Chains A and B, each alone.
Chain A
Amino acid sequence: MRNLLLASCLSVLLFNAESLPAAEDPNQVLHLLNRITYGPTPFEQAEVQRIGMSAYIEQQLHPENIPDSQQLQQALAALSTTRESLYELSQQYLPPEENLSPDEKKAARQKAKIVVDEMREAKLLRAIYSQAQLQELMVDFWFNHFNVFVDKGPDRILIGTYERDAIRPHTMGKFRDLLEAVSHHPAMLVYLDNYLNTDPNSMAARGKKNGINENYAREIMELHTMGVNGGYTQADVTTLAHILTGLGLGYGPRKDRAEKFSEVAFDPKRHDFSSKEFLNTPVYGRGEQEIEQALDMIANQPATAHYISYKIAQYFVTDNPPETLVKAMADTFTRTGGDIRSVLSTMLYSKEFWDPKNTNNKFKSPLRYAVSAIRLSGAPVYDMDVLHQHIQQMGEPLYACLTPDGYANVNDIWLNSDALLKRIDFARVTVNGKFLKKDDSRQSSVKPTEVSLPSMISAMGGLLSANTQKTINNAEQPKIKPILLLSSPEFVYY
């Protein structure tokens, strides 16, 4: 019953603004909402009209001042594993030892399923109902940028705190702080194997930790900072791997398994203390400080400013962002010491962001499509797991991208014949369904909420083409009209 009430309460959130006279060009408002939120709602369209676009942008750039609504807080409060510490989670859900039988492994996975389910539910709740929408997009952006995979070893237990503690606090802060937090979280060190990376000649080199593993060193430069053409060499990859030796999980005879997996520690006995040359600069062998020096150097590379700016612009503006825009953002990045909020600000006030040829030209990813359809229609979601299953079927299971490049955000990946049909399928479920499992006892007690076509049309500004409007008007069945709107070219793109 609690969820039932909550779902209705939450959907009201999307619709509780008074309408006010238009102050801003509704198409520009729609473009802004398409790009810095998970999709427009009637409420936000009115809110931006009321306070103006600049004020709305400033508000979104300061998520710390945007409180969660009571209803959202209440829904999140029910997800208790999302608030537990890494140690608490490890203690309760980490399999007791490494060499388990297949049956024991299965049982451990089953037990830990609640951690993954609640993490996904929290992500979807915030994506749909949080008013700090730009923050939620940035969490999604950085998570994919620094992707880790839910099914790699213990990462299913570690990954929620990775997003909560390493990514969420730094989404609009200094890039170097974000890099530090990510590189010092067990989820990343496990995912890209650095917890095993060991100098083969060191005192503690033995067993599974017997030598160099260059996996993380390569991806730090290729994916996380400088980009594949950022000017580093294979020798730099190898050297960085040596610099990173010993950066791993908690260790020592007095620590239990949960403590080990919930801590990051530097083990000097596995580190290569020789002096090195990295990116044409000497790095003297002095242990943990080498890692900080190397991360400082990488974060300060012009290639990093450029690559991070390029990726942000690709996410928010267009698949192949113009060099003028990327350069302006990279200049801001460099000038401000990698201040992400300033880089976003440069982008949001750029002429490229507002260029009509960069509007409604990106095909929505499955997550963005699903969330935007629920936001625009106000359809209640009674079971977030069912919603997640739909997103999974469209190809974007949350936290489950196997490869370290994360889910891409470009048309080439998502735009295909099957994807379009699946968007239509989802639109039908949104309008006709309840997002409930077949055997859920609430099946008989709840009815799909009537969605309001006029408010959906009004939230779309004037963007709907004459052809779309005509098709909607000509449709014989009233129920098909909102489905057509959610399947329209103007809505499957953003």
Chain B
Amino acid sequence: MLTRRQFLQSIAVTAGYYMLPLGKGGFAFASGMPAQKRLIVLFLRGAVDGLSVVVPYRESDYYGKRPNIALALPGQEGGVIDLDGSFGLNPSLAPLMPYWNNKSLAFVHACGIPTNIRSHFEAQDIIETASLDSVHPYGWMNTLVGVLPDKHSSIAALSFSNKLPKIFTGTNNVATVSPGLKADSKPGFDNPKLEQDFASLYAGNSALNGLYNEGTKSRAQLVDDLRKEMTASGGGAPFPDGFPGQAAKLAAMIRQDPGIEIAFMDLGGWDTHVNQGNGKGQLAEKLDKLGVGLATLAQDLGSEYSNTTIMVISEFGRTVAENGNKGTDHGHGNVVWLMGGGVNGGKVHGSWPGLAENQLFEGRDLAITTDFRTVIITVLKGQFGFDDATIAKVIPNFTPNSDLNLFV
């Protein structure tokens, strides 16, 4: 029996492409098409505990302040996987180690919003608008759609969610895809006359007219993408449940339609105020699914992985000290994850502020040494080659105050 992954490794052959290994697990099509650069953002809503993701295991204060929830040293039972001699990865994220080792996975630690915001909802809005003024109306990924250099696909940007995430709000057309979309979902109307009736119904309303056109077009195309994928796999290999399944669907859509340049997904449930666990437990179980999903996405993207950057971000970090219930409360600095063909990986970037009492923000939280907007800007420049004027359209009123060497 063929596993889904084996099938995907074979699909390139059945699809008749010649693939050239590029190293770093990526492949490139030997065709004349210019590579379509792409950004996928995954938002971890609820503030993931970055100190349990990329663990500063050399810090005695880390162990001192977390008697019940610290992750053990490398080599110990449930211990972290050493990354660089100072930091270790949560062992639930082991599926990502091949990408660390081939230098296409990097982290930026002590990163975040440079104010004392500790509200989930306001902080999420700030990250999604890339503006400290949380009433800023537009999401930066929507603005990004408008400045992309070439549009080979009729779907430039897509979000996997029932609701429109703030990061996608704005004036450019974006597609939302229901996470439940399947290869056998109805693509639209079975009868062209009906389609005309509905087109006429929305003709007088520009907002709905745009959404209707975008919706019918993208639904039909994405269902078609999934169908082709199912046909290629002999109708077997259904998508798994949860995030790994969504990641596999997204990869399938991009494989079928490499013109998809922007994608967004979010995952909730990271607000671990109680019984967070360490190498095992609540948080580790969630990280496990996340790790499997990201590895699936990277793997299933196949040759497109080399053209893709995946950024994983959360609204803020959590308190350095554990709280009274073996959990953590809302904190400050966090870690941003980057994966992809162009990423300068195998490194923990950013300057580490330390965890001693006098090094903490407001005496309790990991300090921030890198503004989250600096990371976004560096990614946009590295991935799309934007100049400062273009960057200013997407992330207005901000100039990075530090250089990050995030791309090779």
A210 contacts B324, C-beta separation under 8 Å: yes
Decide: A421 near B219, CB < 8 A? Known: A394-B162, A414-B164, A416-B176.
yes
Given that A414-B163, A421-B215, A492-B208 are contacting pairs, would A209 and B325 also be in contact in the complex, using a CB cutoff of 8 Å? Answer: yes
Contact: B324 with A198, CB < 8 Å? yes
Chain B interface, DSSP helix/strand/loop, else mixed: loop
Is residue B98 within 8 Å, beta carbon to beta carbon, of the partner chain? no
Candidates B178, B211, B275; contact of A393 at CB < 8 Å: B178
**Which of these binds chain B: A158-166, A213-221, A288-296, A297-305?**
A213-221
B362 beta carbon closer than 8 Å to chain A: yes
Contact B326 A208, beta carbon cutoff 8 Å: yes
Closest CB in chain A relative to B256 CB, distance in Å: 19
Distance, CA A465 to CA B200, complexed state (A): 12
**Cβ of B201 and Cβ of A215 under 8 Å apart?**
no
Other-chain residue from B162, B180, B330 in contact with A419 (beta carbon distance below 8 A): B162
| B385: Cβ under 8 A from any A Cβ | no
Q: Counting CB contacts under 8 A, is B233 at the interface? A: no
Chain A residues with CB under 8 Å of B326's CB are 208, 210
Classify chain A's interface size. Answer: 35 or more
CA distance A98 to B46 in the complex (A): 25
Tell me whether A420 and B162 are in contact (CB under 8 A): no
Query: How does the 8 Å CB contact mask read for A394-423 relative to B, with 1 for contact and 0 for none?
Result: 111000001101000000111111111110
Stretch at the interface among B18-26, B118-126, B236-244: B118-126
Cβ contacts under 8 Å, B146 to chain A: none
| Chain A residue at smallest Cβ distance from B170 | A412
Complex Cα spacing A468 to B202, Å: 8
**Cβ-Cβ contact count across A and B, 8 Å cutoff:** 148
Chain A residues with CB under 8 Å of B205's CB are 489
Interface residue? B228 (CB, 8 A): no
Roughly how many angstroms separate A213 CA and B162 CA in the complex, as a whole number? 32
B34 smallest CB distance to A (angstroms):
28
By a CB distance below 8 angstroms, the chain A residues around B274 are 193, 196, 208, 213
Whether A228 lies near B193 (C-beta < 8 A) is no
A225 interfacial contact with B, CB 8 Å: no
Contact B219 A487 (CB under 8 A): no
What separation, in Å, do the CA atoms of A142 and B219 have in the docked complex? Answer: 35
Per-residue CB proximity of B358-373 to A under 8 Å, as 1/0? 0000100000000000
- Is B227's CB within 8 Å of the partner chain A? no
Q: A214, B175: Cβ atoms under 8 Å?
A: no
Query: Please, which residue of chain A has its CB at the minimum distance from the CB of B274?
Result: A193
Some 27 contacts from A to B, beta carbons below 8 A apart, are A193-B274, A196-B324, A208-B326, A211-B324, A213-B324, A214-B330, A215-B329, A223-B121, A234-B118, A395-B162, A396-B162, A403-B271, A405-B121, A412-B166, A412-B169, A416-B163, A416-B176, A418-B176, A418-B219, A420-B212, A467-B201, A470-B200, A484-B197, A487-B198, A489-B202, A489-B204, A492-B208
Those 7 A-B pairs whose CB atoms lie nearest each other, nearest first: A211-B324, A395-B162, A417-B215, A467-B204, A416-B164, A418-B176, A417-B214
* Beyond known contacts A193-B327, A208-B275: 8 more, CB 8 A cutoff: A208-B274, A213-B329, A215-B271, A223-B121, A405-B120, A417-B175, A484-B198, A488-B201
